[in-house]
């Protein structure tokens, strides 16, 4: 299992791409490696790399390659994201997609063609690096598709699938088979029936199913910052994602998970981190955990939501925080001991009725049933009602005991 962090530069946050400093990057990555991480997720800002639909800046691509090479020197693999897109409440959308030039990023043919060209160029730049873990289409791009985004780019479920197929194919054209090609969505894909990007998209495109777990989505508010419904939410969401797999061997990657201090007290963050990692590490099909994030946002930068200033494992001045110390200790322990648990019990989610995505949400009865069945052990798998009769799939997933949400044994 991989253990890594989402790299947030200590000086200047992601704006540091404008004043690229390889020495500062080397210091940051050495500190990350010192925690025992084996990879980073790297996020260049889309408008800086492709400021015009017809211009992809060679210097910007060289800077990305430089970071990948520095990471290699530090013993770190790298996953590179393309469309940033959305980061920590800020949108970074090129000027050619906004204001007077506003066009739909998902459906406009010229926009999609240019976006695919950008992703091919980014992938080609890093394709030959031996420490390339893979590339992700972008960070939570589904948040642009619907409310609560203030200026959404509407797309249908069918159109979302067409867009993902086009862009994942653009990445795959340029990288070796050993490199992962993935895409990432925030959890509205699993919990919001109005979100056009849904579970089927998560499992049908890319080499692994990517999960982003944040307990400010109602989990911590309903269950408490250190309650079972919070520290087990990532485990649950990974199980929910796997319920949609038609290939029992398809991996799940927990690409984002963090301890948001707006719902988890700062003093409890290390315990939240440790419990979350231990619970989710039990899942056999989990390929990796990538914690959000490496470094705090500096207080010199303004207008971030308050929680963003405290999410790092390392302070912006380079000091390893208690969460960073606990991260290092916990992943060392998990690597030393066998944590995966084969779970033969599964809870059935009725996907044959309207509203089934919302019904799986962290404040609903289905999740409470899952927590009750989990008890102090590994959480049950999840099976869709539409596939509960597929005996071959159940056998491949090792499931022999189906439970319904009303069965509180």
pLDDT, one tens digit per residue, over 17-45 is 999 999 999 999 999 999 999 999 999 99
Sign of the C-alpha dihedral computed for residues 136, 146, 48 and 39 taken in this order: negative
CATH number of residue 141's parent domain:
3.20.20.80
C-alpha distances out from residue 165 to 136, 196, 202, Å = 13, 15, 11
pLDDT of res. 261? 96
Do 305 and 330 reside in the same domain of the chain? Answer: yes
Domain boundary among 311, 336, 361: 336
Of all residues in the chain, what percent carry a pLDDT higher than 70?
Answer: 99
CA distance 6 to 8: 6
Interval 217-274: pLDDT, tens: 999 999 999 999 999 999 999 999 999 999 999 999 999 999 999 999 999 999 999 9
Torsional class of 75: left (φ above 0), alpha (ψ -120 to 50), beta (otherwise): left
pLDDT of res. 409? 46
C-alpha distances out from residue 141 to 86, 138, 147, 206, 315, Å = 7, 6, 13, 14, 28
Contact status, residue 79 vs residue 256, Cβ threshold 8 Å = no
Do 269 and 394 reside in the same domain of the chain? Answer: no
SS3 at position 138: strand
SS3 at position 381: strand
CA distance 137 to 84: 9
Which domain, by its residues, includes 183?
Answer: 2-336
Q: What is the longest distance spanned by two Cα atoms in the chain?
A: 61
Do 321 and 352 reside in the same domain of the chain? Answer: no
pLDDT of res. 79? 98
Do 356 and 318 reside in the same domain of the chain? Answer: no
Contact status, residue 106 vs residue 153, Cβ threshold 8 Å = yes
pLDDT of res. 94? 96
Tokens 């990948």, residue located: 68
Tell me the average confidence (pLDDT) per consecutive run of 10 residues in the chain, 409 residues long. 97 96 98 98 98 97 98 98 94 95 97 98 98 98 96 98 98 97 98 98 98 98 98 98 97 98 97 98 97 97 95 97 98 91 97 97 98 96 98 97 77
Residue 409 lies in a domain: no
Do 195 and 106 reside in the same domain of the chain? Answer: yes
Residue 319 lies in a domain: yes
Residue 408 lies in a domain: no
Residue 379 lies in a domain: yes
């Amino acid at each position: 299992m991989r253990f890594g962090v989402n790299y947030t530069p200590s000086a200047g946050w992601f704006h540091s791409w404008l004043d690229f400093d390889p020495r500062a990057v080397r210091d940051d990555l050495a500190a990350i490696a010192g925690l025992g991480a084996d990879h980073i997720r790297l996020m260049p800002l889309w408008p800086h790399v492709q400021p015009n639909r017809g211009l992809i800046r060679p210097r910007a691509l060289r800077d990305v390659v430089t970071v990948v090479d520095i990471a290699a020197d530090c013993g770190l693999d790298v996953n590179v994201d393309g469309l940033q897109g959305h980061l920590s409440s800020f949108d970074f959308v090129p000027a050619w997609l906004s204001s007077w030039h506003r066009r739909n990023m998902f459906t406009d043919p010229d926009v999609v063609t240019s976006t695919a060209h950008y992703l091919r160029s980014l992938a080609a730049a890093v394709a030959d690096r031996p420490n390339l873990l893979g590339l992700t289409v972008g960070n939570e791009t589904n948040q642009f598709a619907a409310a609560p985004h203030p200026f959404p780019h509407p797309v249908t479920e069918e159109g979302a699938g067409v867009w993902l197929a086009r862009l994942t194919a653009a990445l795959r054209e340029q990288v070796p088979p050993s490199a992962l090609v993935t895409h990432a969505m925030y959890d509205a894909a699993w919990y919001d029936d109005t979100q056009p990007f849904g579970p089927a998209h998560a499992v049908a495109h890319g080499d692994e199913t990517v999960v982003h777990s944040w307990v400010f989505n109602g989990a911590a508010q309903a269950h408490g910052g250190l309650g079972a419904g919070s520290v087990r939410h990532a485990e649950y969401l990974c199980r929910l994602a796997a319920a949609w797999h038609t290939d029992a061997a398809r991996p799940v990657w927990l690409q984002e998970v963090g301890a948001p201090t707006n719902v988890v007290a700062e003093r409890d963050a290390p315990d939240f981190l440790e419990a979350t990692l231990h619970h989710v590490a039990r899942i056999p099909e989990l390929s990796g955990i990538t914690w959000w994030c490496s470094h705090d946002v500096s207080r010199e930068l303004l207008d971030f939501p308050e929680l963003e200033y405290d999410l790092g494992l390392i302070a912006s001045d380079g000091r390893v925080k208690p969460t960073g110390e606990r991260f290092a200790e916990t992943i060392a322990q998990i690597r030393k001991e066998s944590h995966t648990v084969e779970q033969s019990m599964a809870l059935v989610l009725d996907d044959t009725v309207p509203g089934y995505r919302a019904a799986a949400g962290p404040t609903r009865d289905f999740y409470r049933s899952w927590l009750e069945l989990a008890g102090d052990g590994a959480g049950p798998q999840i099976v869709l009602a539409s596939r509960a009769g597929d005996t071959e799939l159940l056998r491949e997933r090792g499931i022999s005991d189906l439970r319904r949400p009303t069965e509180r044994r």
